[in-house]
Structure 1
Amino acid sequence: MDTPPTPPSLRLFDLLEVLCNAGRPLSLADAVEATGWPKPSVHRMLAQLEAGGLLAREPGGRRYTPAPRLLRLSESALGAGTQQSVRHAVLRQLVADIGESCNLTALSGAEVIYLDRVESAFPLRLELRPGTRVPIHCSASGKLFLAHLPPAQRAALLGSLPLTRHTATTLTDRAALEAELEQIRRQGFATDAEEFVEGLVCVAVPVPTGGPRQVRCAVALQAPAARMPLGQALQQVQRLGDAAQALGRTWG
């Protein structure tokens, strides 16, 4: 299968990767040889990266090397990777304690996106990889996010969303959904009673990443109802809350 061409907006990152992987300062001719791109294009991109403070020229002006701004960005990226490792470790421990799959999600526009997930050891499971997006109106995390949006923002979002039916228990009536959102605000957690996938239940609690009324991330337990009925899953709310507090601390 042919590799799709790199979008023009990412070419600068490709060039930075070439320069950093070289392990030594590169001249314009070196960069052209390493990338195979036209010399005028490489010259223009090097000038852009230099003007942006990401590259600097060595004494003599012929070779380019990473500038302090790029080094600071690298250090920040490494720090973010460390935090991600800590979050994943929290999820792994949660799954070890509960025995079922758990995930870390965030609100992304009108959908829920999986930031991280650890699967249970059971062969019967629904594998959802990080980056997966699920509907907001019929997932536990999604309803948790909806419940804590400012009223005007929630009304506008619900007014624009098709409340698509995925299973027999999906809430497609707006009044019924609003009533459940009010209950979620009172109780502090949300459930998915086989509303997105038949036979699958979920419980989600907020991860504290901002103000007391701001819920942008959630940690959730997901299990086959045949193995862990919703009532049994609800017994894990306190354990989920403890994990949510630990995850929240990784955001400072």
Structure 2
Amino acid sequence: MSQTVDRALRILPLLAEGPANLEQVATRLDVHKSTALRLLRTLHEHGMVYRQEDQRYRLGARLFALAQQAMETLDVREIAHPHLLALNEKIGHTIHLAVYEEGEVVYIDKVESRYPVRMYSRIGKPVAITVAAVAKLLLADLPEAERRSIAERLEYPKYTAKSTPDAAAFLTELLRVREQGWATDLGGHEESINCVGAPIRGADGRIAAAMSVSAPNVVVTADELLKLRPLILRTAEAISREYSGNTVSKDTP
């Protein structure tokens, strides 16, 4: 990277901390004021920074517009898929990726189990919203008033004896999921199928998608599947870092 480009890029994180004057920018870059001024003028011409009336500089509207445009064009499925494949190679179980759209939680990707027993699910199909781990994660991230509104207008089919019985129980479960940062469906939809889910977050920290690992009891028990939770969470965090553009490593408890 050229020295000029490097210096210009270093100005942006500085201004992200708050407005700064020419002297502050020059000091941070360890350059003469004339050099700092030339860089700031170039960035100003392109809308990346803005000079205020008090002669301090702040980030410009063009930069925010570009960031928003970039976020809108990101495809979480494209980013997540290699990670889901890698996880499937390690554990062999079915993996789903889902998003919340227009009142439904829908699968947008699936990696099949390598075991003979397969799950009946397909991309584009809505999930059982009151019991699915991915649905719990996506709804748990919504504001409280919206969570309550959704919970109160849902129906609660009794798929199994472990299915969520009513809105009160569902809201309690969503609060637990929100606090712990992961979710399960242990026989709530099908008695023989267990599932552990983890959130995928965007740059704003909100949950943009959710992934889950599912397996039948004949392959692994619920306790055995739950032991994979740290690995599932690490995979979700790796996807989140790439999706949000945050490449800083973070340990998973």
User: 2:160 aligned to 151, 164, 167, which one?
Assistant: 167
Q: Displaced runs of 4+ in structure 1, greater than 4 A?
A: 83-86
**1:73-222 alignment runs, 5 A limit:** 84-212=77-205, 214-222=206-214
In angstroms, what is the RMSD of aligned CA positions? Answer: 2.0
The one-letter code matched in structure 2 to 1:220 is: S
Q: Deviations over 1:198-229 (max 9, x none)?
A: 211111010012433x2231111011023222
TM-score relative to the length of structure 1: 0.63
Cα displacement (A) at 1:194: 1.1
Q: Deviations over 1:127-162 (max 9, x none)?
A: 422212112111001111222210110111111111
Gaps of 5+ in 2: 1-69, 246-253
SS in 2 for 1:169: coil
CA contact (8 A) 2:141 2:178 kept: yes
SS in 2 for 1:250: helix
SS in 1 for 2:127: strand
Gaps of 5+ in 1: 1-75
CA contact (8 A) 2:185 2:195 kept: yes
Identity %: 31
- Cα distance in 1 between the residues matched to 2:79 and 2:141: 26
User: 2:222 aligned to 222, 230, 245, which one?
Assistant: 230
CA contact (8 A) 1:105 1:113 kept: yes
TM-score relative to the length of structure 2: 0.63
- Cα distance in 1 between the residues matched to 2:144 and 2:243: 29
The one-letter code matched in structure 2 to 1:205 is: A
**1:17-36 alignment runs, 5 A limit:** none
- Cα distance in 1 between the residues matched to 2:193 and 2:104: 19
CA contact (8 A) 2:77 2:108 kept: no
Give the length in aligned residue pairs.
Answer: 173
Q: Measured at CA, do residues 200 and 152 of structure 1 come closer, stay the same or move farther in structure 2, by a change above 3 Å?
A: same
